[in-house]
Structure 1
Amino acid sequence: MAVMLAISIFLVCYFFIIIGKVNQALVAMTGAILLMITHVYSWEEAFRWAIDWDTIALLFAMMVIVAITEKTGLFQYIAISLVQLVKGQPILLLLGSSLLMAVGAALLDNVTAVLLFVPIILSITKRLELPAFPYLLIVIFSANIGGTATIIGDPPNIMIGQAVEHFDFLDFILHLGPVVLIMLVIANIFMVLLFRKQLTVKPYLVNQLLSQNAADYIVNKSMMHKCTIILSITMIGFLSHAFIQLDLTTVSVSAAVLLLLLTEKDLAVTKVFAEVEWDTLFFFIALYTLVGALKEVGVLEFVSQYLISLTRGDLVLTAISVLWVSGLLSQFINNAPFVAAMVPVIQEFQTYGMDYLDPIWWALALGACLGGNGSLIGTTANVVVAGLAEADNEKISFTGYMKFGVPLVLLSLFVSTVYILLRYLLPIL
C-alpha cells in the first residue's frame, strides 16, 4: 500500500509540475504533506536523511549574495557596458550576451543570471528596435550551457556535487568545462546562421544608447566594492575548498553572512531576505521529501536493479544510456526533480558491483543540464525567461521555442557522447 501511495503522489505532483498551471513549490509541498498524512514516512525521517540541507543552505547563501549585489546596480552596469563595448552591433550583442550569460550562470547560477539579465536585454532590444526572440533564445541556451560547467551553475550539478563526496568545484570545471566551451561555440554559430538576416539596427538608435554613461547605473559604489570583494573571495573559496578544508556550503554561507554584516547599514537584512527566492528553496525541500519517499518504500532500489539488468552492468552502455535518457527526458520534465530522482538510483549501482561511477555522474550532469534546453519547461531558468518575456509582451511560443531547442539538444547529446567516450570510456575498454 505504501509503495502505491508513494508512487501515485510522486507522479501526480510531477504531472502538475510539468504542466505548470500551479506553483511548483506549492505542488511539491502538497505532495510532501500527503506523504505524512498517509503515513508513508514521518517528518522526522524526511528531515533527518531525505532532505539535502547542504544544497538548500548553498542555494540560500548564493541568493543572499546576489540579492545584495543586484541592489548596487553592478549587473546593470555590466550589461550597458557590454552594449557599448560592441558598439551596438546586433550580432556582436548576441555573441556578447551569450558569453555574459554563460559566465554569469557558471559563477552565480542560471536562474539568478537570467533573472538579472533578461529585463535588461528586453530593454536594450526595445531601444534598438531589435527582435527579442533571438536574444531570449541565446540567453536560455547560454545560461543552461554555462551553468553546466560548475557545481553551483545548475541545480542538478548542486545535487550531484553534494551526493558525490570526492567531487569539488574544480572537478566540475575540469571535467565539464571542455564540452561546455564546445557547445557554447556551436550554439552561437547555430544562432548567427539562423538569425543573421533579422539582426539589423538603425544607426541613430545605436548612437542614443552609446551616449549613455554606464556608471550612472551604479547606485552605491561603497556597497558594490564590498560585494565584488566578497564574490571574489567566494569564488576563491570554491576553488580551494579542499585545500582550506572547508566544504562548499560552509564557504558560501560564511560569505553570505559576512556580506550581510558589511552591508547592514546600507541595506536592511529584512529587505535582503525579502529578495530570496523562497519558493525555489521550499520547492527543493519538498522535492527531496517526495524522492525520499520513493527510496523509503524501495522503488529506487528496484529501478537501479532494472537499469543494471538492462545494461548488464556495462559501464560504457550505462553511461551512454544515462546521458541520452536524462537528455531526452529533461526536455519535457524539469531537470531538477529528474536528477533528484536519479541521484539515489545511481548511488544504488555500487550495491551491484559497479565501483567506478564517475563517467555515469558526468553523463547525468551533461544530459540533464544540456537537455533542459529542449523546451520551455526543461529547466527553472527557461520558465523564468518565458515568464519575464510574457510580462513584457514578448510571449515565447512553446512549439516555436522547441523548433530551435530540440535540434540543439540532439546536437548537444551527440557531442557529449563523443566526449564521454573519448575521455572516460575508451581508455578503459
Structure 2
Amino acid sequence: MTVVATILIFIVSYIGIMLEKVNRAVVAMTGSVLLLIIGVYPWSDAFSTYIDWNTIALLFSMMVLVSITKKTGIFSFIAIRFAQQVKGHPLHLLIGSAIFTAVGSALLDNVTTVLLFVPVILTLTKMLLLPSFPYLITIIFSANIGGTATLIGDPPNIMIGQAVEHFTFLSFIQHAAPVAIILLLLLLIVIAKLFKNKLQPKEKNKIEELMKMDASKDLIKSPMLYQSISILSLTIIGFLLHTFIHIDLTTVAVCGALLLLLVTDKELGAEKVFKEVEWVTLFFFIGLFMLVGGLERVGIIDEIARGIMWITEGDLPTTAILLLWTAGLFSGVVDNIPFVAAMIPVINELESYGIDNLDPLWWSLALGACLGGNGTLIGASANVVVAGLAAGENQSISFIRFMKYGVPIVIVSLIVSSIYIYVRYLYPYTLILPLVFS
C-alpha cells in the first residue's frame, strides 16, 4: 500500500509541477510532506540521506554572488555596449545575443543569464522597432546550449556533478563543451537563415538613438563594483582549479559568496541580498529531492533500473543512446530538473547490474536533459523565466509557435549528440570489448 501511495504522490506532484497552476515549490514540498505523513521515511532520513545539501549550497552561493554583482549595473552596461558595438544591426544583434547568452549561461547559469539579459533585449528591440520573438527564442536556445557546457551552467549539470564524485568543473568543459560549441555554431547558421529577411534595419534615427545612449549611466562606480567583479572572477577561477587546490566546488562557491557579503555589507547589507535570493527555487529542489527519495526508499528506482537493463540487455551503447533520447524527449515535455533527479539514482543502480563504466551514461543524461529543454516552453527553467519576462512586457510567446522551432532544434541536437556520444565513448568501447573476451 505504501508503494502505491508513494507512486501516486510522486505522479500527482509531477503533474502539478508541469501544469504550474500552483507554485512548483509548494507542490514539491506538499508532496514530500505527504511522504513523511504516510511514513515512507522520517525527517532525519530526509535531511541526512535524500536532500542533497551540496547542490542547495552551491545554488544559494551563486544566487548571492550574482545578486550582488547585478546591483552594480555591470550586466546592463555590457549588454548596451554590445548592442552599440554591432551598431544596432538586427541580424548582428541576434547572433551576438546568442553568443552572449551562451557564454553567460556557461559561466553563471542559464536562469541567471536570461534574468539579466532578457529585459535589456526587450528594451533594445522596442527601441529599434524590431520583432522580439526571434531574439527571445534565440536566447532560450542558446541559454540551454551554453548551460550544457559547464557544471554550473544548468541545474541538471549541477545535480549530476554533485552525484558523481570524480566529475569536476573541468570534466564538463572537456566532455560537454565540445558538443555544445558545435550545436551553438549550427544554431547561429540556422537562425541567421530563418530570420535574415525579417530582421532588417527599420529607421536610422532609432539606431542613432541607441548609439547615443550612455551605457555607463546605470553603472555604479563604487568599491562594490570592483569587489563584485574581482570575487566573481576568483570564484570562477576556483571552479576551474578546484581539483588542483583540493577544495570542492561547493566550498569554493560558499567562500566566494561569504567573502562578497563581508566586503559589501556596509554598502549593501546582507538582508537586502537575502531578500533577492530565489528561495522558491531552493525549496523546490529540497522538495524534489525528498520526492525522489521516496521512490528510492520503496524500491521503485531499483525496478526502473531493472526495466532499463531488460530493454537494453545490459549493452552499454544501447543503454547510453536510449538514455540520451529518453532524457531529451522527456525533458521537452516537463521540466528537466525532476527528470534528472529521478534518473540519478537509476544510473547509480545500473552499476550493480554489470555496467562498470557509467561515465557515458552520465554524459548522455546531461546532454539529453539540458538540450531537450529546448523542445517546449516548459522544458527548462530558463524557458519559463523568459516567457514570464516577455509576457510582462506584452510580448507573449505562443506555446505552439515556440514548439515549431524548438522541436526541430531538439531533434537535430539529439542526432548530433548521439554521434558525439557514440564516436567519443561507445565506438572505442565496442572495439575494446571483443579484445577483453578473446
Shorter-normalised TM range: over 0.9
Classify the secondary structure of the residue corresponding to 1:215. Answer: coil
The structural deviation recorded for 1:240 is: 0.7
Task: Tell me how far 1:21 sits from its aligned partner.
Answer: 1.2
Contact 1:151 1:168 (8 Å CA) reproduced: yes
Please list the CA deviations of residues 82-127 of structure 1 after superposition, one character each: whole Å capped at 9, or x if unmatched.
1011010011100111111001111111111111111111011000
Shift of residue 220, structure 1, vs aligned partner = 3.5
Number of residue pairs matched?
429
AA at the equivalent of 1:74: I
Alpha-carbon shift at residue 188 of structure 1 (Å): 1.4
Structure 1 unaligned regions, length at least 5? none
- The separation in 2 between residues aligned to 1:198 and 1:349, in whole angstroms, is 49
Match status 1:246 vs 2:225 = no
**In 2: Cα distance, 1:235 partner to 1:219 partner:** 23
TM-score, normalised by the number of residues in structure 2? 0.97
CA distance in 1, matches of 2:329, 2:161: 22
Amino acid of the residue matched to residue 80 of structure 2? I
Q: Which shows bigger deviation, 198-207 or 387-396?
A: 198-207
Aligned match of 2:436: none
Give the equivalent residue in structure 2 for 1:144: 144
- For the residues of structure 1 that align with 2:199 and 2:43, how far apart are their CA atoms? 54
Task: List structure 1 segments (4+ residues) > 4 angstroms apart after TM superposition.
Answer: none
Q: CA deviation at 1:257?
A: 0.1
Structure 1 distance, partners of 2:28, 2:286, is 9
Counterpart in the other structure of 1:279 = 280
> Does the CA-based 8 Å contact 1:73-1:220 persist in structure 2?
no
Displacement of 1:193:
1.1
Pairwise CA RMSD: 0.7
Worse-matched range after superposition: 274-283 or 201-210 = 201-210
User: Identity, % of aligned pairs?
Assistant: 57
Question: Paired residue for 1:266?
Answer: 267
Q: Where does residue 330 of structure 2 map in the other structure?
A: 329
Q: Name the counterpart of 2:258.
A: 257
Shift of residue 221, structure 1, vs aligned partner: 3.5
Question: Is the Cα contact below 8 Å between 1:55 and 1:249 reproduced in 2?
Answer: yes
Q: What is the rounded CA distance, in whole Å, between the counterparts of 1:373 and 1:425 in structure 2?
A: 25
Residue 217 of structure 1: how far off its partner (Å): 2.2
Report the 3-state secondary structure (helix = DSSP H, G, I; strand = E; otherwise coil) of the residue aligned with 2:61: helix
- Report the counterpart of residue 86 of structure 2 in structure 1: 86
Give the 3-state SS of the residue equivalent to 1:240 in structure 2: helix
Map 1:101-112 → 2, pairs under 5 A: 101-112=101-112
Query: For 1:268-417, what aligned pairs fall within 5 Å after superposition?
Result: 268-417=269-418
Opposite residue 349 of structure 1, the aligned amino acid is L
* Aligned equivalents of 1:9, 1:169: Cα separation in 2: 35
Letter in 1 for 2:18: I
Give the match for residue 96 of structure 2: 96
Structure 2 unaligned runs (5+)?
431-438
Aligned equivalents of 2:46, 2:150: Cα separation in 1: 28
Q: Normalising by the residue count of structure 1, what TM-score does the alignment of the two structures yield?
A: 0.99
| Partner in structure 2 of residue 187 of structure 1 | 187
Report the 3-state secondary structure (helix = DSSP H, G, I; strand = E; otherwise coil) of the residue aligned with 2:44.
helix
Q: Please tell me the residue identity of whatever aligns with 2:136.
A: L
Please name the residue that 1:199 is paired with. Answer: 199
Task: Map Cα deviations across residues 278-314 of structure 1 (whole Å, 9 max, x no partner).
Answer: 0000000000000000000000000001101110111
In 2, are the aligned partners of 1:102 and 1:142 still within 8 Å (CA)? yes
CA contact (8 A) 1:156 1:339 kept: yes
Which residue in 1 is equivalent to 2:164? 164
Alpha carbons of 1:98 and 1:221: their partners in 2 closer, same or farther (altered >3 Å)?
farther
* Residue number in structure 2 paired with 1:174: 174
SS where residue 332 of structure 2 aligns? coil
2:113 is the counterpart of 1:113: yes
1:22 deviation in Å? 1.1
- Matches of 2:222 and 2:124 in 1, distance apart? 24
Deviations, residues 5-27 of structure 1 (Å, cap 9, x unaligned): 11100000000111111111011
- Residues 195-215 of structure 1, C-alpha deviations (whole Å, 9 max, x = no match): 111112221100101011212
